[in-house]
């Protein structure tokens, strides 16, 4: 339970760090409560206020996190609060009620108030940050490689082993390809969707291809393990040493070809 | 019985009923090991029927609106709105349409999809490739060694997307990353239209401001993980996005109108598309919460809270 509290607190800090929409929600609720008598749907306001408090207070947040299953992170308990709807509700009340009904407000003042509201919205959203290209360039590069690979395969069934940037997009691009391991090897959150796990030698293959210091397999045993696992198509990065390539050629019994910045071995 | 129902209610209710039908077809495919092509055929027939009903409703609605317009033209003229008020309404409409169009354009270009922790495209691809439901591990394309959790196995969205890919001969990544998010966004605005009508009954201008603010907030939240805008503009195919952006606003709208039984349909739809705890999810909590807030109001004389 302590762990759950800690997660709830850390989640709140992380959630409010990226953007200020929660701040805008609190301002909206404050405005609606101050303007309570003129608010038509008080039940909606009461429900939203109670749930907002529940999402902020660590004890109730922890209960909500357990309710929504531990599969989901802290951010998702905010689904209980109709954040967009309540801010829009407050904005609609603000723009149409106090501004319209106050006689001393001139046209210019009303326009200035709406402009201030728009600016507040824009500032709360982090000014478009987070919308930048999220791996699309890598995806496009992988697509180009996989397109060429499909041409080379000329209808054969392929079981591919390649660097992570290719493996990550291979099944998105072509579901006829089979892979020696999938995205869940380096993206553990995906393991929630499957019971399948990988044997140690397949994990070793991943470590070898990632090129980190953790790899323990020799080039030769690595190639043999890959072939034993059913791999018939290997892409090696351009930086692969000549001796390694020769080991792979010997085990697979084929010559390497160059393919879009990779060495291709296909049999 | 049909009091306090709006035209968008028909569209959303048919969408929810279609989800129920899709779930039944999916379970038929999974439990009896039927091929995807057969499931797609049945789903296609049901979806075509649903589309025909929606189309018929649209035609009836348009004809009714035209008749009412003719009637208004013949009747004595109502007081004309002031020029300033008309101009403000036109400006609001323009802002709303511009915001929605920019979002649709953003989705169609598919420039910023967020796939972290998601494997829908691979799952749909594996359904199409193996012509069956959950027959191979979507991440590797090889046969399952251990399988997958049964609560996930019964979620119907991958079957719906795969069926649509099969019917329209579209690639999974095009259907999942570009077409479905567009439909989700339109569903979101339909649900918020219902919510606007429930929150501000009889006030068209307030409803328009509400919708424009929602459109603006979708852009504002698009950079922050967990926000409606983020889900709609970067992961519109996910069950959580459909729930948060379509089912929840619609359920709230129904609860405000005290149509709790109808709102329970949203909870049922959520159980078909999102991994929830033993069938419970966010919608039941919201429905229960709003029903509880209605209890003290019941003690007061009727009419003290407008439509709420």
SS3 content of chain B, % helix, strand, coil (to 5): 70, 0, 25
Nearest to B227 by CA among A124, A78, A52: A78
Give the tokens for residue A36.
Answer: 């309570």
Contacts of A182 in chain B (CB under 8 A): 122, 137-140
How, if at all, do strands A262-266 and A233-237 pair? antiparallel
If pLDDT is split at 50, 70 and 90, which confidence band does A132 have?
A: low
Residue B117 CB neighbour total at 10 angstroms: 16
- Point out the residue among B84, B223, B226 whose CB comes nearest to the CB of A126: B223
Q: Look at B219 and A125 and tell me if their CB atoms are within 8 Å.
A: yes
DSSP chain B: --TT--HHHHHHHHHHHHHHHHHHHHHHHHHTT--HHHHHHHHHHHHHHHHHHHHHHHHHHHHHHHHHHHHHHHSPPPPPPPHHHHHHHHHHHHHHHHHHHHHHHHHHHTTT---TT--HHHHHHHHHHHTSSS-B-TTTSSBPSS---HHHHT--HHHHHHHHHHHHT--HHHIIIIIHHHHHHHHHHHHHHHHHHHHSTT-HHHHHHHHHHHHHHHHHGGGSTTSHHHHHHH-TTSHHHHIIIIIHHHHHHHHHTT-HHHHHHHHHHHHHHS--BTTB-HHHHHHHHHHHHHHHHHHSPTTSSTT-
Cα–Cα distance measured from residue B69 to residue A38, given in angstroms and rounded to the nearest whole number: 33
Contact B228, A61 (CB under 8 A): no
Other beta carbons within 10 Å of A78: 25
How many Cβ atoms from other residues are within 10 Å of residue B46's Cβ?
A: 18
Closest-CA distance, B62 to chain A, in angstroms, reads 28
Structure tokens at B303: 């009419």
Break chain A down into helix, strand, coil percent, rounded to 5: 65, 5, 30
> B73: distance to nearest CA of chain A, Å?
29
Question: Given its phi and psi angles, is residue A116 left (phi above 0), alpha (psi -120 to 50 degrees) or beta?
Answer: alpha
Question: Going residue by residue through chain B (308 aa), what tens digit of pLDDT does each one get?
Answer: 567 788 899 999 999 999 999 999 999 999 999 999 999 999 999 999 999 998 998 898 888 888 887 877 776 655 556 666 677 788 889 999 999 999 999 999 877 888 888 899 999 999 999 999 999 999 999 998 888 888 888 999 999 999 999 999 999 999 999 999 999 999 999 999 999 999 999 888 899 999 999 999 999 888 888 889 999 999 999 999 999 999 999 999 999 999 999 999 999 999 999 987 665 789 999 999 999 998 775 555 544 444 43
Q: Is B221 in contact with B229 (CB distance < 8 Å)? A: yes
- Would you give the distance in Å from CA B284 to the centre of its chain? 17
The rounded percent of chain A whose pLDDT value lies above 70 is 86
Are the C-beta atoms of residues B257 and B198 closer than 8 Å to each other? yes
Choose the mutation target among A69, A134, A172 for the interface with B, i.e. most B CBs under 10 Å: A172
Examine the pLDDT at A133 and tell me if it is beyond 60: no
Quick: pLDDT tens for A72-122: 778 888 999 999 999 999 999 888 876 666 555 567 777 777 888 888 887
Residue B303: the pLDDT is: 44
Average pLDDT value over all residues in chain A: 84
User: Do the chains contact at B172 and A175, CB–CB below 8 Å?
Assistant: yes
Interface test with B, best of A23, A171, A177, A186 (most B CBs within 10 A): A171
E strand spans, chain A: 159-161, 178-179, 233-237, 257-259, 262-266
Task: Give the pLDDT score at A62.
Answer: 87
Chain A residues touching B149 at Cβ < 8 A: 193, 195
Of A82, A128, A172, the CB nearest to B249: A82
pLDDT at B5: 82
- Within 8 A by CB and 6+ apart from A234, the residues are A160, A161, A162, A223, A226, A248, A252, A264, A265, A266
B304 C-beta neighbours (distance < 10 Å), count? 9
- Stretch A188-216: mean pLDDT: 84
Residue A183 dihedral angles phi and psi, to the nearest 5°: -60, -25
Question: What pLDDT is attached to residue A192?
Answer: 80
Three-class SS state of A265 = strand
Indicate yes or no: CB of B200 within 8 angstroms of CB of A92. Answer: yes
Q: Do A89 and B210 touch (CB under 8 A)?
A: yes
Residue to substitute from A69, A79, A170, A176, interface B, most B β-carbons within 10 A:
A79
- Structure tokens, A163: 């660097």
CA distance A79 to A114: 28
Q: Other C-beta atoms within 10 Å of A142: how many?
A: 22
- Dihedral sign of CA atoms B165, B167, B169, B170 in order: negative
Sign, Cα dihedral of A4, A9, A10, A15: positive
- Distance, first Cα to last Cα, chain B: 17
Instruction: Answer yes or no: do A184 and B139 touch at CB < 8 A.
Output: yes
End-to-end CA distance of chain A: 54
> Cα–Cα distance between B23 and B36 in angstroms, integer?
14
What pLDDT band is residue A136 in, cutting at 50, 70 and 90? confident
What residues in A contact B119, CB-CB < 8 Å? 183, 190, 193
- Between chains, do A79 and B240 touch, taking CB under 8 Å as contact? yes
3-state secondary structure of A262: strand
């Amino acid at each position: 339970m302590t762990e759950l509290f800690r997660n709830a607190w850390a989640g709140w800090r992380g959630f409010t760090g990226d953007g200020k929409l929660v701040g805008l929600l609190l301002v909206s609720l404050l405005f609606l409560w101050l303007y309570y008598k003129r608010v038509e749907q008080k039940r909606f306001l009461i429900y939203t206020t109670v749930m907002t408090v529940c999402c902020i207070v660590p004890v109730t947040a922890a209960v909500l996190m357990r309710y929504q299953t531990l599969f989901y992170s802290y951010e998702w308990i905010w689904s209980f609060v109709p954040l967009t709807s309540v801010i829009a509700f407050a904005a609609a009340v603000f723009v149409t009620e106090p501004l319209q009904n106050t006689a001393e407000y001139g046209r210019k003042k009303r326009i200035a108030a709406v402009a201030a509201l728009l600016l507040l919205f824009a500032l709360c959203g982090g000014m478009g940050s987070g919308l930048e290209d999220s791996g699309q360039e890598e995806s496009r590069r992988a697509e180009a490689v996989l397109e060429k690979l499909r041409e080379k395969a000329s209808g054969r069934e392929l079981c591919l082993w390649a660097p992570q940037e290719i493996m990550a997009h291979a099944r998105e691009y072509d579901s006829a390809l089979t892979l020696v391991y999938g995205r869940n090897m380096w993206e553990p959150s995906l393991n929630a969707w499957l019971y399948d796990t990988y044997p140690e030698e397949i994990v070793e293959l991943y470590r070898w291809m990632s090129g980190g210091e953790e790899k323990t397999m020799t080039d030769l045993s690595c190639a043999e393990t890959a072939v034993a696992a059913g791999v018939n198509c290997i892409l090696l990065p351009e930086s692969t040493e000549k001796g390694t390539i020769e080991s792979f050629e010997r085990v697979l019994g084929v010559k390497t070809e160059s393919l879009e910045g990779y060495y291709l071995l296909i049999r | 019985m049909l009091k306090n129902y709006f035209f968008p209610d028909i569209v959303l209710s048919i969408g929810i009923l279609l989800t129920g039908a899709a779930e039944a077809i999916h379970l038929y495919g999974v439990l009896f090991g039927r091929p995807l092509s057969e499931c797609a055929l049945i789903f296609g027939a049901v979806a075509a029927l649903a589309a025909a009903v929606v189309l018929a409703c649209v035609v009836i609605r348009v004809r009714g609106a035209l008749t009412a317009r003719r009637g208004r033209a013949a009747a004595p003229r109502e007081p004309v709105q002031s020029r300033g008020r008309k101009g403000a309404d036109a400006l609001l409409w323009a802002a709303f349409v511009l915001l929605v169009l920019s979002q649709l354009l953003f989705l169609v270009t598919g420039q910023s999809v967020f796939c972290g922790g998601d494997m829908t495209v691979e799952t749909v691809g594996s359904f199409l490739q193996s012509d069956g439901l959950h027959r191979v591990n979507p991440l590797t394309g090889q046969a399952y060694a251990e399988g997958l959790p049964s609560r996930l196995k019964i979620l119907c969205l991958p079957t719906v997307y795969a069926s649509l890919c099969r019917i329209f001969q579209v690639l999974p990544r095009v259907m999942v990353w570009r077409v479905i998010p567009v439909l989700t966004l339109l569903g979101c605005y339909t649900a918020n239209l219902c919510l606007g009508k429930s929150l501000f009954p009889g006030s068209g201008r307030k409803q328009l401001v509400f919708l424009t603010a929602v459109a603006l907030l979708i852009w504002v939240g698009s950079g922050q993980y967990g926000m409606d805008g983020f889900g709609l503009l970067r992961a519109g195919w996910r069950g959580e996005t459909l729930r948060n952006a379509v089912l929840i606003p619609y359920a709230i709208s129904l609860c405000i109108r005290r149509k709790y039984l109808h709102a329970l349909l949203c909870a049922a739809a959520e159980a078909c598309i999102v991994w929830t705890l033993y069938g419970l999810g966010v919608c039941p909590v919201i429905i229960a919460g709003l029903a509880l807030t209605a209890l003290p109001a019941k003690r007061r004389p009727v009419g003290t809270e407008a439509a709420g």
